[in-house]
Amino acid sequence: MAAISAQPFDYPLPATLSQAALVIIDMQRDFLEPGGFGDALGNDVGLLRAIVPTLQQLLAAFRSLELPIFQTTESHRSDLADCPPSKRLRGNPALKIGDPGPMGRILIEGEPGNAIIPELAPLPGETVITKPGKGAFYNTNLEFLLKTHDITHLIITGVTTEVCVQTTMREANDRGYECLLVEDATESYFPEFKQATLEMVRAQGGIVGWTATAEQVMAGLKQVKGA
Ligand code: TIU
């Protein structure tokens, strides 16, 4: 059986490779550019750009193999009806969700700052899940779409490692998905939190799942497709 060389042990690929999807979490301007939500929370947003070239390679590999790709954005309705006051008000940031900023209203669907960065822009027909929470399963149709397409394996990437990425991976793991977190295709505003997340997901025999580098993922896929 084909497998990705991974930690804590090899990650077996599904018999039908199209049962494995690439999941890219929240690579949107709101988290990567000054004036967005990440900046409003007091973070150094420049740190997240390091993974863009690696994500471009993974995206190209999944596209060329015609494997499923799901991107997400953390987004709220313009009337904020799906934004709990606890989320909007906690920490009393200078710019709150829904407030006007230099890239439009902070974290609001359809605003310039809420768009996925141009380097990773989805192609027509690729699925983008807008999610009101940190996890991609909470109040979205992601699980329905995965089931409809018989997807069982998730290769998870994006930002930030210990917030939306880890929450999504835990939600997926509890639902029975085989999850692999790509070490050099996820990033955090806090390098030590990223490292801790990688270690905690693969601890205890893969309690949440696996980790591997993008190169290991692409090498594993090529075994199957001979690409
Ligand atoms: N603040 C932070 O690290 N992350 C988020 O608020 N959302 C995501 O991780 N996407």
Q: Per-10-residue mean pLDDT for the chain, 227 residues long?
A: 96 96 98 97 97 98 97 98 97 95 98 98 96 98 98 98 98 98 98 98 98 98 80
Q: How far is the CA of 1 from the centre of ligand 1 (A)?
A: 36
**Residue written as tokens 């006007």?**
100
Q: What is the pLDDT of residue 224?
A: 87
- For residue 226, what pLDDT is reported? 67
Residue 165's H or E segment, with its range, is none
| Cβ contact 40:101 at 8 Å | yes
What integer pLDDT is reported at residue 1 of this predicted model?
80
- CA 134–ligand 1 middle distance (angstroms): 7
Instruction: For ligand 1, atom 1, name the residue with the nearest CA.
Output: 38
**Single-letter amino acid, residue 177:** Y
- Cα distance from N-terminal residue to C-terminal residue, the chain: 17
For 209, the token pair is: 């799942």
Please state whether beta strands 100-101 and 104-105 pair in parallel, antiparallel, or not at all (unpaired).
antiparallel
* Residues constituting the chain: 227
For CA atoms 200, 206, 209, 215, the dihedral sign is: positive
Residues within 6 Å of ligand 1 by CB = 26, 31, 38, 41, 74, 134, 159-160, 163-164, 189
* Residues acting as catalytic residues: 26, 131, 164
Mutate to test the pocket of ligand 1, among 25, 31, 90, 138 (most ligand atoms within 8 A of CB): 31
Structure tokens at 12: 């077996």
Q: Which of 29, 39, 163 has the most ligand 1 atoms within 8 A of CB, as the residue to mutate?
A: 163
Q: Whose CA is nearest to atom 8 of ligand 1?
A: 164
